[in-house]
Amino acid sequence: MDIGFIGLGEMGAVIVENILKVGHQVRVWNRSPERAAVLAAAGAQVVDSPAQAFAGDAVFSMLADDAALRAVIDAQLLEHAPRGLIHVNMATISVALAEELAHAHASRGLNYVAAPVLGRPDAAAAAKLTIVAAGPAEAIDRVQPVFDAIGQKTWRIGSLPQQANVMKLAANFMLASAVEALGEAATLITSHGVGMQDFLDVITNGPFPGPIYQGYGKMIAEQRYEPALFKARLGLKDVRLALAAADAVSVPMPVASVVRDSLIDAIAHGDGEKDFAVLGAVSARRAGR
């Protein structure tokens, strides 16, 4: 396939590498040109504008947030895009923007698929992402070979793109809640002289196995918050988006409010660029430890 790709951050860059490995042609654009230049050595074609990426069979975007997406994917870009093009947006964005984008694309004869991913950059590099896709079924069918190159499974959940975004926000809320709980539990047990690693050995080999408790628990136990695989400031962005989605349909999420405040605490103490696991440090600091 002839693919465009917009947004070459930590996730986007490794996703492009995996797309190239299976033989697709990829045109890449990024606001910071040096990131695009690195991928040229892997076989990507670097283009000078988003419009040049917005062509071919499909274009994928992986931008940081709503503001970044609005700055790049604007009305002018959509007006000049070839009719029938598929735009696959893999970013974690608000439900409201997802609905807006779906309408904007459909009104211009473009196909819009929301396909946010579950997984950190290490999972992306290993082509082990979990992809949550929603949008026109025929459009998803056409880009499924690309999904197969970058992920371990694609979950199709409906024809409305925003449904994929709300699922991703719900998943990230659960992740944030688990890390918050780990941080509070770590402060509790260590305050009573129990080793965090001993606690992790018990819970991860018993009721709470899996990468979240094992991975984030280990980082909290070691107080190792850098380099960040998922930055606290991005976690705060996602929790805020989940709360906004909940507010729109009058759904109370009291735990999400607690996690939001803990992440604000982290950022207020200069830890926004550290890993999500820094919630462990927030809990310890609140306890005076």
Q: What is the dihedral sign for C-alpha 7, 8, 9, 15?
A: positive
Q: Tokens for 167?
A: 């699922």
Q: Is 209 exposed, middle or buried, given 0-12, 13-18 or 19+ CB atoms closer than 10 A?
A: exposed
pLDDT given at position 228: 94
Res. 125: pLDDT tops 90: yes
* 218 is known as an active-site residue: no
φ, ψ for residue 97, nearest 5 deg: -70, -35
- Taking alpha carbons only, the member of 134, 129, 112 closest to residue 58 is 112
Residues 235-258: pLDDT tens digits?
999 999 999 999 999 999 999 999
Residues 184-235: pLDDT tens digits?
999 999 999 999 999 999 999 999 999 899 999 999 999 999 999 999 999 9
- Going by pLDDT thresholds of 50, 70 and 90, the confidence category of residue 102 is very high
Residues 70-80: pLDDT tens digits?
999 999 999 99
Spatial distance between the Cα atoms of 167 and 116, rounded to a whole number of angstroms: 9
- Going by pLDDT thresholds of 50, 70 and 90, the confidence category of residue 96 is very high
pLDDT given at position 173: 97
Res. 15: pLDDT tops 90: yes
Catalytically annotated residue among 21, 128, 153, 168: 168
Q: Tokens for 155?
A: 């979950």
Cβ-contact 114, 135 below 8 angstroms: yes
pLDDT given at position 109: 97
pLDDT given at position 127: 97
88 beta partners:
60, 113
pLDDT given at position 280: 97
Spatial distance between the Cα atoms of 20 and 24, rounded to a whole number of angstroms: 5
28 beta partners:
5, 46
Question: 3-class DSSP state for residue 129?
Answer: strand
Q: Tokens for 277?
A: 């696991």
Res. 38: pLDDT tops 90: no
pLDDT given at position 35: 85
For the chain, give the mean pLDDT: 96
Q: Tokens for 49?
A: 């504008």
Domain residues of the chain, as ranges? 2-159, 165-286
Res. 48: pLDDT tops 90: yes
Q: In the chain, pLDDT over 90 holds for what percent of residues?
A: 96
pLDDT given at position 33: 85
- Going by pLDDT thresholds of 50, 70 and 90, the confidence category of residue 58 is very high
CATH fold of 2-159 reads Rossmann fold (3.40.50)
Question: Exposed e or buried b for every residue in 107-135, given b needs 16+ CB within 10 A?
Answer: eeebbbbbbbbbbbbebbbebebbbbbbb
231 beta partners:
275
CATH fold of 165-286 reads N-(1-d-carboxylethyl)-l-norvaline Dehydrogenase; domain 2 (1.10.1040)
Which residues are CB-contacts of 79 (< 8 A; sequence separation ≥ 6)? 108
pLDDT given at position 273: 97
